Structure 1
């Protein structure tokens, strides 16, 4: 059955009060640094792009969408817009879209990106029937772009200044051409930054039109503490109206954008409800792959009462589960010997394939990445095991104190660490 594009509230203002959207915050990393952006996680106090109260795995994102649909929320669109860039996190983004398309074949799918890394994925996006792609293009003159972006990272190589802006623009143009070649709807977002690109909006609109873009969305910059543009004044409504009037001579303008958070949910004109925030928190505290049967939790503990051991120093892990209505240590499992590098953590992940989470007082980035990839939720904390298990099995946030010491700093263990 063909998708009904008229149900997309961002592209059809006539249905903005009837159909809603949900943004899935599965993409925490970003590959550029804009002068107006400060990404925040675990934040419920700000309503702007780059902000989310939780970050989800693809499996958790599907769990969340299922919950919203089953509860009767009028969601017609699933989008991915951060809190970083979807294609600085391509594995998470694409797997999320695959899961949603398979489970919800009638759902509209869209993504919003800076355009730097989307190119290699456009063909599959079209296969998945992602109907709308948004690219944020703030300048078509690299000299202006150099004033907007602090850096651009391509394959771990950071670029700055003119070189960064030139690369980003080149990738954006390539992406625009490929998107239209695959017959997808293309929207261009432009952040209006007073004194930086406000005189350049018409040029962006004209160029976007020449490349076949379907809609243009001029968004007023929001001054954000801790950013390069924090001391600039926010554009006035009159400035935005004037810019839209000028850009509108080239292409249609979107005028009802809400500058949505990366975890926005519901109708455009409504804020995210407490009920929805609760559903998001439950999803974030579900197993990384909620459909898998993983009844146990692994714990790095010295005496079986507290989480108080660094993973790299633990010779064995206690495996907890529910028995007779109580959380009990059911067995212990030896950890692989140190010194084998990545193979050590691959073996550990296999040995914990029936565990939904692992609780440790400290852990390095390499084992964290391997364990999460294998579907384990890695919880870094210190505190009572029983209370933490209660929260994990109830799908609640773990609120135990976190260790602030980075792995390798002031380590009091044997020095074997996470290698």
Structure 2
């Protein structure tokens, strides 16, 4: 497969402006082109997958089983440390598993976590560089828990020769990490690949990797397997180039593009971390993500999970399910509990859809130019249901009369621990939410309420325990009505 050369680069600051403008009927604001409606069979595949559906991540859990230790490429952002339970980043695990141990763990988690809908293999190396244990694990889980979806993440080097087997096993979600389609860019990210027993270095290795990735993507699409492409944004290396990556992978049939920030803290021990390569700012990440939109689906809710992650996104419970802590007896079949949870979610979805429709109807009179950026504290379930002081992250949305559009999530230190507030952590939270007009929470104390208000951020508790989007739209509608009542003609301002 021939790889197209990248188009001329744009500065990151200009990327958002390069994105396709929003059509008049776009449900979202901020320059996104609304993707075409999904066919029913595709909607069914993603409905309960927390990584492939932004809405599903509020309700459903995933689990990664670490059965694939070896890797066939080197990435400057990767260091697969073993037994680093306090870290949450790709490639990190606390225990490596055999396929039999993986099945035992899957069944134990499934018995305790009725939200579990997906079992995936994401390392700690590359699953397809370890085809024996990877496929044995997938086969064991498919037989023991056929209602759980199977998922796999790969760098794509060995993907083309395994597509048929993945399809035969019923793996209908595959994530491929694609950081470049230009070998010159790729050589700055991937110094070598291991191909047929030898290391291929520099641009030759990057070119080979890209060719294999694109061939694999096309083959996945040809077999009806949904493919998500992960791209790590490395400022000064591939930031501008990722727009071309997005165009290319969409043309080959990728369903979703996930542009993730580089994690490069020195303590991670990666090449980038040790050489001072910085990660992107929140503004830089958002600019590239917006530039990759324009009719495409771009993931905004990724948490860059560990290779042994368990639970809802952002609420990793892997430490609860260490092998030593698993019950000695095989776990009982919990498929009925999972089915009951799916039924409850469907009922909740119908209620959320009705609440959203009602809120949108009330917003019809709002000025088209009005918009606001709003943060939400949520601990799951798609609700505004977390105390401000307990939040370790906030979901951030852009809201206008057409709906609420997820921008991303902002990780913060927990402000309130043991009943005491930490001023330093509060300063960090205020900085993280500095571009937000309001923050919707279940509860907030007097001191942080005053500090938020002083920073120009309105703390809102009136919509506690409501569905997130309906709460956002109700707050936005109330704000528009108050401004209209006092004759205010000023727009809320672009976030």
Q: Which residue of structure 2 aligns with residue 416 of structure 1?
A: none
Q: Which structure 2 residues correspond to residues 4-403 of structure 1 after superposition, within 5 A?
A: 5-224=46-265, 225-230=268-273, 231-249=276-294, 251-272=296-317, 276-282=318-324
Q: In the superposition, relative to structure 1, how do residues 179 and 162 fare at CA in structure 2: closer, same or farther (>3 Å)?
A: same
Q: Is the 8 A contact 1:206 1:250 kept in 2?
A: no
Q: SS of the counterpart of 1:149?
A: coil
CA separation of 1:183 and 1:48: change in aligned 2, threshold 3 A: same
Three-state SS of the structure 2 residue aligned to 1:7 is coil
* 1:398 matched residue in structure 2: none
| 1:84-133 Cα shifts (integer Å, max 9, x gaps) | 11011111111110100011111111111000012221111111111111
Q: CA deviation at 1:250?
A: 5.4
Hey, what's the Cα distance between the residues in 2 that align with 1:206 and 1:141?
Answer: 13
Query: Partner of 1:148: helix, strand, or coil?
Result: coil
Q: In structure 2, how many angstroms separate the alpha carbons of the residues matched to 1:193 and 1:207?
A: 19
Relative to its length, the structure with more helix (as a share) is 2
State the secondary structure of the residue aligned to 2:152. Answer: strand
Partner SS state of residue 172, structure 2:
strand
How many equivalent residue pairs? 285
Q: Secondary structure at the match of 2:103?
A: helix
How big is the shift at 1:164? Answer: 0.6
2: CA distance, partners of 1:166 / 1:250? 28
Whole-angstrom CA distance in 2 between matches of 1:155 and 1:278: 39
Q: Return the alpha-carbon distance in structure 2 between the equivalents of residues 117 and 241 of structure 1.
A: 31
Residues 138, 145 of structure 1: 8 Å contact kept: yes
Instruction: Tell me: CA distance 1:93–1:284, structure 2 relative to 1, closer, same or farther (3 Å).
Output: farther
Q: Which whole-Å CA distance do the structure 2 matches of 1:19 and 1:166 have between them? A: 37
- Taking the aligned partners of 1:285 and 1:153, their CA distance within structure 2 comes to 40
Residues 141/64 of structure 1: CA separation in 2 closer, same or farther (3 Å cut): same
Q: Give the conservation status (yes or no) of the 8 Å contact 2:105–2:323.
A: no
Q: Counterpart of 1:196 in 2: which secondary structure?
A: coil
Higher strand share: 1
Q: Secondary structure at the match of 1:217?
A: strand
Unaligned runs of 5+ in 1: 292-419
Structure 1 residue 173: Cα displacement: 1.2
TM-score norm. by structure 2 comes to 0.55
* Cα pair 1:26 1:58 within 8 Å, conserved: yes
TM-score using structure 1 length: 0.65
| Root mean square deviation, CA, Å | 2.1
Deviation at 1:226, TM superposition (A): 2.5
